[in-house]
Amino acid sequence: MRDAHCIGVVATATEARQLRNNGCRRTIQGAEPVIVSPLNKVFKSALLAVCLADALSVTARADGLSAYLPLNLEPEMERQVERVLILADEPILKRPFAVELVRAALPAACRKDPALCTRVRKILERYSGDHGITHASATGALHSGADVVLPNQHGLTSDSDWEVSAQGYVQPADYLLLSGGVLAYSGRTEYTGSVLSIGFNWAQLDVGYRDHWLSPATDSSMLLSTESPTMPSVTLSNWEPFTRLGIQYEFILTRLSQTGSNSGDSLPGNNILYDGVASRGNPRLLSMQLSIEPFPGWSLGVNRNLEYGGGSGLPDSASFVVRDFFKPSGLSQTQGNQEASYVSRFIFPGRTPFAVYFQYAGEDNSDGGSYLLGNAALTAGIDFPRLWKHFDATYEVSEWQNIWYVHNIFLDGMTNDGLVLGNWGADQRNFNDGVGARSQMLRVGWEPPFGGYLEARVRTLANEDYYGGDTRQYVPGEPAPYPYTHFYDFSLSYSHPWNGLTVGAEADTGRDVYGGAFTRLSAFVRLGDGRSRADDAADEEQEDPYGGPTREHGAELFVDAGVNVNQVRADLGPPTPITTSPVGFGPHFGLGARRAVSEYDDLGVRLELDEVDGHSLIGVRALDYRYRIGDQLALSLFAGVDRYNLATPAYSMYAGLGAQWRNIIPRWDLGFDVRYGQNIARDHVLPSDPVTTRPDSFYKIASGVLYLSHPF
């Protein structure tokens, strides 16, 4: 088995103490890990260059590259790996998972759940030699009713009678890997998993049919997912975080398929219109993720998509991409189609650990600065790797405003083979209909005493009755919104080891957005992990790994209750005058989790509920930092996303600072926060909206909150 090492550096004793043992940035033996204070961590593009120079300036030994686990092809295996990474305090922000990253996380996870760790280690043995078969699956299905695209299944539809996939590899050296793969179902064959990889742990180049998923969420990725078939791409990334900030990067260059014979719902005629010139072509797509993990259990990243070129005289040179990719307000806005998102993940290390993650995305930038995202989308989720010993659960909710995946230059929008690149819910509508929507997913897994894994999952989707966008601009009274019905999908699956294989079945039933019912029954056999029923029985006899201490020192859940004072500045667009509301008051409620990341520093997440000017205001703090001063005083700094519940949802970012008087009475803290929401925005998409020279309204919300907080 190839060992997963970290970049070795020549370090002083102080620097050694600042390296932490999280599986990929190891602590020098005998040194105590120390966490760097977050006050001087500014996430800007210049930071990457500085840290790259820092990494290359030291004496470093480059380790080998890594293979990747299949993505959304073997869900029962992927779920086990997800649970291991949470237990190992690895806050991942993208997929597929690097094999060596998972291998490095195993020691920490094994201390918390040896049985789960053993199962994942058996899976990783597929990648232990210099060649092997890593994945094989065959599915047969019966179906009836409506034909729907199955979420995140590489374009698979419910009327497909069969599906087969396989992957294998040959690795002649630590720095060279050749992977072969195929994915086929009724009407389509793709070479998913066929990739040539060369490079090192800190710079790996992948050329071929590699999947991408730029989100911490497991079911809803707004920018890149496996909703459409795998695209051939060139990817440069590092599987192992480097420097004390835990930097990771990924750059992806691909070409969208919008004119091929298998292009699905793509427009049959010209699909590009620029400067009055129409043409038919396949645009290019450049994608990126930059992220940091400066503390155990918390990561923050930024993603970006730029669709460009393809015809009609649109620029597609390397100089255009290099110059404008990092300028959202430049030519990439007028000569390209852009998306971006901020992503974060926080792991709570309690007796019942869980991960909380957010994804705040925009189809374009918004007034007030390039960092503000227009036509926003928010995804929030919570993932429990183990509940009551035998269960696990995940819940996610996503909501996006209008204009997602449609565009006035690229008339097929952000699609590949007629399917969106991101959230599965946007395929549950008429093609190119830029309606807003909300999706939810609840998944519960059970490891029954008779062995195997049983999973129940329910998805819902509600398309809104408003629209507006580049290809279907809203005009009062005409045309009327399409009368979609609510989509729902319920699935129940069971898998079990058998003679070195995994066998199982799945039942899917639901209703599409046009009111049509669908049902699909399938059975599958996959390459297993070599386990047997006796192995499952041995796992059952192990002592409960969660029977130890309730939580790590400094980790706590808490609830807030109090009152807010607020004022709203509304800019509905010229010629409507800007107005400012009188000072108002409303109730405040909060629920959060935090953990100590150093002797004085805490980091966490929080959900806030307020009433502001007669409307509900929901805030999610992806960054909730607290600095403790002695035993009684603490100062805080926070940032997150506001959802203002107007006639249609309005979104933007907010930030603030606060102070706490801790233990004003035993186990009760008194807090005061000052918050500011910048340009909370919604489009004019309703008959009741004012007629202005600008298609959107902006709200600035200033508020103060006085509250009591109770940890538990």
pLDDT digits (tens, 9 = 90+) for 608-632: 999 999 999 999 999 999 999 998 9
Indicate whether 7 pLDDT > 80.
no
Range with the lowest mean pLDDT among 38-47, 74-83, 165-174, 235-244? 38-47
DSSP helix/strand/coil, 123: helix
Q: How far is CA 359 from the centre of its chain?
A: 6
Residue 211: DSSP 8-state? -
Structure tokens at 463: 């398309």
Q: What is the pLDDT of residues 48-71, one digit of tens each?
A: 444 544 444 443 457 899 999 999
User: What local confidence, expressed as pLDDT, does residue 327 receive?
Assistant: 77
CATH of region 556-711: 2.40.160
Rounded alpha-carbon distances, angstroms, from residue 285 to 46, 222, 421: 23, 15, 11
In terms of C-beta density within 10 A (0-12 exposed, 13-18 middle, 19 or more buried), how is residue 34 classed? middle
Round to whole Å and give the CA distance between 681 and 403. 14
DSSP helix/strand/coil, 38: helix
Confidence of residue 469 (pLDDT cuts 50, 70, 90): low
Cα torsion for 358, 359, 365, 367, to the nearest 10°? -20
Phi, psi of 390 (to 5 degrees): -105, -5
Range with the lowest mean pLDDT among 92-106, 211-225, 248-262? 248-262
User: What local confidence, expressed as pLDDT, does residue 533 receive?
Assistant: 52
* Angle 471-223-326 from CA coordinates, rounded to 5°: 90
Confidence of residue 474 (pLDDT cuts 50, 70, 90): low
Structure tokens at 701: 């919300």
User: What local confidence, expressed as pLDDT, does residue 216 receive?
Assistant: 98
Round to whole Å and give the CA distance between 181 and 164. 11
Q: Which H helix or E strand runs over 409?
A: none
In terms of C-beta density within 10 A (0-12 exposed, 13-18 middle, 19 or more buried), how is residue 246 classed? buried
> Nearest to residue 90, comparing CAs of 69, 77, 106?
106
Confidence of residue 23 (pLDDT cuts 50, 70, 90): very low
Indicate whether 633 pLDDT > 70.
yes
User: What local confidence, expressed as pLDDT, does residue 389 receive?
Assistant: 85
DSSP readout, 1-29?
------------HHHHHHS--SSSSPPPT
Q: Pick 556 or 42 by higher pLDDT.
A: 556
- Count CB atoms within 10 A of the CB of residue 711: 15
Tokens 């008429």 -> residue: 430
Residue 373: DSSP 8-state? E
Report whether CATH 3.40.50.360 matches the domain 75-541. no
Q: What is the pLDDT of residues 402-425, one digit of tens each?
A: 989 999 899 999 999 999 999 999
Question: What's the chain's length in residues?
Answer: 712
When pLDDT is averaged across residues 66-79 and rounded to a whole number, the result is 96
Q: What is the pLDDT of residues 100-147, one digit of tens each?
A: 999 999 999 999 999 999 999 999 999 999 999 999 999 999 999 999
Alpha helix positions (H), 449-550: 533-541
Tokens 């299905």 -> residue: 141
Q: What is the pLDDT of residues 348-383, one digit of tens each?
A: 999 899 999 999 999 876 665 667 888 999 999 999
Tokens 């990126």 -> residue: 288
When pLDDT is averaged across residues 327-349 and rounded to a whole number, the result is 88
Q: Pick 9 or 550 by higher pLDDT.
A: 550
Structure tokens at 204: 């790996």
Same CATH fold, 556-711 and 75-541?
Answer: yes
Round to whole Å and give the CA distance between 269 and 432. 14
Q: What is the pLDDT of residues 592-613, one digit of tens each?
A: 999 999 999 999 999 999 999 9
Indicate whether 565 pLDDT > 80.
yes
Confidence of residue 269 (pLDDT cuts 50, 70, 90): confident
Confidence of residue 700 (pLDDT cuts 50, 70, 90): very high
pLDDT more than 70, % of the chain? 84
Indicate whether 214 pLDDT > 80.
yes
Rounded alpha-carbon distances, angstroms, from residue 300 to 120, 292, 297, 325, 339: 26, 6, 11, 20, 18
Q: What is the pLDDT of residues 539-559, one digit of tens each?
A: 555 555 554 445 566 899 999
Contact 193, 179 (CB under 8 A): yes
Contacts of residue 339, Cβ cutoff 8 Å, sequence gap at least 6: 222, 223, 304, 305, 361, 362, 363, 364, 414, 422
DSSP helix/strand/coil, 331: helix
> What rounded mean pLDDT belongs to the chain?
87
Round to whole Å and give the CA distance between 379 and 376. 10
User: What local confidence, expressed as pLDDT, does residue 657 receive?
Assistant: 98
pTM for the whole thing?
0.89
Q: Would you kindly state where each structural domain of the chain is located, as residue ranges? A: 13-57, 75-541, 556-711
When pLDDT is averaged across residues 142-164 and rounded to a whole number, the result is 96
Confidence of residue 322 (pLDDT cuts 50, 70, 90): confident
When pLDDT is averaged across residues 665-691 and rounded to a whole number, the result is 93
When pLDDT is averaged across residues 270-285 and rounded to a whole number, the result is 94
Contact 233, 226 (CB under 8 A): no
Buried b (16+ CB within 10 A) or exposed e, 332-342: bbebbbbbbbb
